[in-house]
Structure 1
Amino acid sequence: MLHAGHTALRYFISFVTIPVTFMIAMSGFHLGFWISLVIAALVYMASNFIIKVYQRYKKRKQFGLTKSEYNHIEAQIQEARESLYNFNRMATRVRSISGFKHLFEMSRLSKRIISIVRANPPKFYQAEIFFYSHLPSAAELTEKYAYLSKQPIKDTEMHLALQRTRDALEDLFVSLEKDLRQILAADIEELKVELDFVTRRSERSSKEES
């Protein structure tokens, strides 16, 4: 997915077109000030759009994704970021220190998974259940947990409801850890292969020297 660097570069290049277009319209075509300014603004918007389309195209080609695949993954990442925002917002309302620490770790795992998929979109397919189920469920349960924990009623039924919610969040925490391991599995395996290759090459070099 496009990151802040893409955005900064796009806006910088587009911004440069404003004075250039304005001067060409004023000096080259002898147009009025306001007309030249409008033309410069239109060129700025057009260049911004064209550069963004090109950046997205290059990103798709880099990872071998179709346009529909890229758009779908991008939409899922956006939804995940919104779910994570809601999750974090609800987590700050939890009064229990231990509960907050637990939710903080869940947030950290979720943020890491989203970050990895943003940097390498094809990894989305290794963590689809995270985007479709685990993170949305965590956000919903955290909202319910924060709501229940603030209620003045502390009877047996309320304690049981809170405990069941904590247990469900604990299960989701384990699921998030599995999601992250699943995403990193291929990278870990690739690293093992590279380390084995380096080790064998070092052993051969040692034998040849001896």
Structure 2
Amino acid sequence: MKWILDLLIRILITIPSMIFIWALVYFLFHHLFWLSSAVSIFAGFVIYQWLKWMMTGKFLKQQGLSRKEYRFIRKNLKEAKLKMKRLQKAFLSVRQIDTFRLFYDMYKLVRKIYSLIKKEPKRFYQAESFFYVHLDSMVELIEKYALLNTQPVQNKEMIQSVQETKRTLQELHHEVEKDLYQLLSNDMDELQFELEYAKRSLRHKHPLSRHERRNSTK
């Protein structure tokens, strides 16, 4: 993953820099061990943070985002991750196989959308309805369903409420699928364009005649 590679690069640059600075200060200031250690640790922290800032800036330039926008998107992702934990906890308490399958499929959709946005934050603005409407509704409804469905005693009204909640969740499942399709719409358009271009190239590619092949070797 990209963030792991970036982390390794920062570490591989920071540690040798700290060792060099430690040795430099140690020999320049008459073998003061604690001073050398303090300076090298401080310098290492500064170097690491500077590298992180530079790498983030390069990433944001590729994404076409400002640092303010990126902080806003990261805040939404952090909140979404907490909601995903609530979803997981709720659907794991369900015992009916068909309902569990529905909830699991919904959770997979949520994870897919979350992963796409985390990898490419610029896609966030294509999925605002997911973050501001559908995810919140999903969490509330699944938690409500799990609570009502696990009660030891259920009356007619509770059973109707559970069934209605499940129907609403099925509809919401389709809406979240649309959110994912919306996120992938540009990719599908680009793929379609590449396919059309490849087909057109194949249609217009004719084998060389004997005369053309002879001339091409001269």
TM-score if structure 2 supplies the norm length?
0.87
1:195 aligns with: 195
Which residue type is aligned with residue 106 of structure 1? M
Counterparts in 2 of 1:60 and 1:150: CA distance versus 1, 3 Å: same
Structure 1: where are the runs of 5+ without partners? none
Aligned to 2:94: 94
CA distance in structure 2 between the aligned counterparts of 1:23 and 1:47, rounded to whole angstroms: 17
Residues 50-61 of structure 1: pairs in structure 2 closer than 5 A: 50-61=50-61
In structure 2, the partner of 1:15 is 15
1:82 corresponds in structure 2 to 82
CA contact (8 A) 1:83 1:139 kept: yes
Q: Residue 44 of structure 1: CA displacement?
A: 2.1
The Cα shift of 1:190 comes to 0.9
- Structure 2 distance, partners of 1:88, 1:52, is 32
- The more displaced of 200-209 and 115-124 is 200-209
Q: CA RMSD in A?
A: 2.0
Counterparts of 1:1-210 in structure 2, within 5 Å, are 3-206=3-206
Cα distance in 2 for residues equivalent to 1:167 and 1:144: 13
Given that residues 63 and 121 in structure 1 are in contact (C-alpha distance below 8 angstroms), is that contact kept between their aligned partners in structure 2? yes
Q: Number of residues paired by the alignment?
A: 209
The alpha carbon displacement at 1:107 in A equals 0.9
For residue 60 of structure 1, report the CA deviation from its aligned partner.
1.1
- Evaluate the alpha carbon distance shift between residue 65 and residue 206 of structure 1 in structure 2; reply closer, same or farther with a 3 A threshold: same
CA distance in 2, matches of 1:178, 1:129: 10
Could you give the per-residue CA deviations for residues 99-125 of structure 1, whole angstroms, max 9, x where no partner exists?
A: 221111111111111111222222111
Give, as a single letter, the amino acid of the residue that structure 2 aligns with 1:162: V
Please report how far the alpha carbon of residue 181 of structure 1 lies from its aligned counterpart in structure 2 after TM superposition: 0.6
Distance 1:11 1:104 in 2: 38
Structure 1 pair 145–10 and aligned structure 2 pair: CA distance change class (3 A): farther
Q: 1:209 to 1:40 in 2, by over 3 A?
A: farther
Q: How does the TM-score come out when normalised to structure 1?
A: 0.90
Percent sequence identity is 31
Q: Quick one: structure 1 residues 177 and 208, their matched pair in 2 at CA, closer, same or farther if it must change by over 3 Å?
A: farther
Relative distance call for 1:10 and 1:85 in structure 2 (3 A) is farther
Distance 1:172 1:57 in 2: 37
Show CA shifts across 1:112-165 (max 9, x none): 111112222221111111111111221222222222222112111111121122
Deviations 1:11-65 (A, max 9, x none): 3433333322222221233352122212222122222221221121111111211
After TM superposition, where is structure 1 displaced by more than 4 Å over at least 4 residues in a row? 207-210
- Cα distance between partner residues in 2 of 1:93 and 1:7: 37
* Residue segments in structure 2 that go unaligned for 5+ positions in a row: 211-218
In structure 2, how many angstroms separate the alpha carbons of the residues matched to 1:62 and 1:13?
Answer: 23
